[in-house]
Structure 1
């Protein structure tokens, strides 16, 4: 299938490369050579020179942790066609000796005979955008954890402020925290720092602020607030950076923003994870399958086995989970679909099913430049149900409830008014 191929078994500090090419005098024979290189840049450039001498057409490597990235990116920049392979798809045959050299040889044989297919590796702009969006989400999670630690510290001091104020880090909550850290302990004085509509809760605030907050708690809370503010500043910088990097894909972001529950931030994260080129996914089902938001049918001996969708991209799954949570509160087609599935199958299955629908919509919007999102409405399901079937189901339910036979009669005509 591939005449000149190189397969690489990658480690953290070194790699083993196997090159297989046709024999110089015997066309029915193959010649292979195995070499070892370090993973530092000069050694990788030497590897690229060797592959040029051998006129290698394809370079394949397993996705080993993050160690494959510098090798893949450097060889890609040097002009080689690179394949990233899933280790599960090219597992060595059981019973064979397993060494780095034998793994490289086995991988070369698998690739040259067309027994595997490459994994998706996004182009450089999408990869860089993904790095920034993932780091932003990590900082948001860390900021949330820090806020939770602050709430626990207040609970330790018998300060029940978060039971009265919905946003502890709003204007009123932050001023009260700063005043307590500065040394103010009087609940009446602290409650008067409430702003606007929060002043209606001054009696409740006085009770919530009557605790035993002392200098020990003040020191810990001050440290936590500084860390929260520092994370907020870093997140704001990342937001600006994402706005710059997402500019070439502004049209795609605007189209995804049309979907119910998908905001600008969610659209940016989705594009960073799946890209904008939908030709790599032949159908919408391929996209849902890659994200592990597709059902898996597992049957054996005529019985259906319980099975999960598998472990997919956790970053994409987190964004889709937030999108579905927003959809669930809307009076739309997808919102009604979520509620119907929740009643029958539970919340977890409903999240996966609605997430699958969202990915299907995304695929069509990004595949067709002229496509636009149009909500079918929350009454779409009811309008599609056959009237006679619905009538039959209601009669059956009434008969089971009463234990009697139900017979429908036409409604008598009312006498005409005089």
Structure 2
């Protein structure tokens, strides 16, 4: 760590450990030198703990991309002491630009949403494993119903795991909204019921239920966190009803109306009114960026940061053919692309 000396006659370098006690001592050391703003490299995940501790102590943090440091000439040979002196020197001259990082409350919401997304992916994996067990027994539930984890599909799975083998009785579990008749469903539910596959199905169903329970816990915590982030500005207490009746019905059937209202009270804008933007998509956008986008002066800069802007390499004002850049898509970009994909065959202004 490099900072100006207490008499402001030069700069000094000090070393601190990685424990929380040492990080708090580092914060006191900086405050004793009247430091208000701190620049640090974004190296792996090692910057997160110091960043959060220093931010909690009231210091202004600037998270710097290491590529910016390499662009400025004049640095001596690379080492930790010389690096911190170089960062301090550039920061004192105002030559560093911080990476985007939302406020602490948004970061906490982001952690919950990302962890929930990991559980949702794990739940899908267990659905795939259950379907594999059914396929190995030649029980074609995926042919009988459109969604194996829908109302009818899960009712059939639970009955099979509970010992039911009669195809006609399994078909009676059909929800009235199913497009296929009981007879059509029963034709697909005759299997050989080998014991090892049945056991795998039972264990997969237990894991599915366990993950589903954890997801429900995350949903409750996300709603609680959104309640803490409600805006104090005057606005309508509830979001206006959706103009798209089918979309409103889908949100209601999924039990997402409470979260839709909570996201509206947190941001002050009901983004679900936009075609293709569902509650999950809005949740991802607001948890990654928050309701304040003032860090992006123009729409072009925001789209570029989301990695949705097309890159056309040019030389001499003319486009040139180059190998495609390997840039990782952000979570927001993936969610918006998925939303756009759902508009392909929709009868809306954006899907026309």
TM-score using structure 1 length = 0.69
Report if aligned partners of 2:312, 2:319 keep a CA contact under 8 Å in 1. Answer: no
Report if aligned partners of 1:253, 1:268 keep a CA contact under 8 Å in 2. Answer: no
Is 293-302 or 87-96 further displaced after alignment?
87-96
Report if aligned partners of 2:6, 2:32 keep a CA contact under 8 Å in 1. Answer: no
- Structure 1 distance, partners of 2:103, 2:320, is 40
Q: CA deviation at 1:197?
A: 5.2
1:59 is aligned to 38
Q: CA deviation at 1:155?
A: 1.1
Q: CA deviation at 1:310?
A: 5.9
- Structure 2 distance, partners of 1:307, 1:286, is 24
Paired residue for 2:57, among 78, 86, 103? 78
Deviations 1:92-126 (A, max 9, x none): 86995332222222222222222221112211111
- Structure 1 distance, partners of 2:312, 2:180, is 56
Report if aligned partners of 1:89, 1:116 keep a CA contact under 8 Å in 2. Answer: yes
Paired residue for 2:171, among 183, 191, 199? 191
Aligned-partner SS, 2:68: coil
Aligned pairs for 1:101-140 (under 5 A) are 101-140=81-120
Aligned-partner SS, 1:84: strand
Report if aligned partners of 2:313, 2:320 keep a CA contact under 8 Å in 1. Answer: yes
Aligned-partner SS, 2:13: strand
1:155 is aligned to 135
CA RMSD of aligned residues (A): 2.6
Structure 1 residues not aligned, in runs of 5+: 1-16, 26-30, 337-418
1:204 is aligned to 184
Deviations 1:350-399 (A, max 9, x none): xxxxxxxxxxxxxxxxxxxxxxxxxxxxxxxxxxxxxxxxxxxxxxxxxx
Of structures 1 and 2, the one scoring higher in RCO (CA 8 A, sep 6+) is 2
Paired residue for 1:320, among 319, 331, 336? 336
Larger Rg: 1
1:225 and 2:234 matched: no
Aligned-partner SS, 1:19: strand
Report if aligned partners of 2:133, 2:198 keep a CA contact under 8 Å in 1. Answer: no
Paired residue for 1:311, among 324, 327, 330? 327
- Structure 2 distance, partners of 1:43, 1:95, is 28
Q: Aligned pair count?
A: 315
Paired residue for 2:275, among 246, 253, 260? 260
Structure 2 residues not aligned, in runs of 5+: 232-263
Report if aligned partners of 1:63, 1:87 keep a CA contact under 8 Å in 2. Answer: yes
* Alpha-carbon distance change, 309 to 246 in structure 1, aligned in 2, over 3 angstroms: farther
TM-score using structure 2 length = 0.80
- Structure 2 distance, partners of 1:242, 1:136, is 9
- Structure 1 distance, partners of 2:303, 2:180, is 49
Q: CA deviation at 1:333?
A: 3.1
* Alpha-carbon distance change, 163 to 239 in structure 1, aligned in 2, over 3 angstroms: same
2:299 is aligned to 284
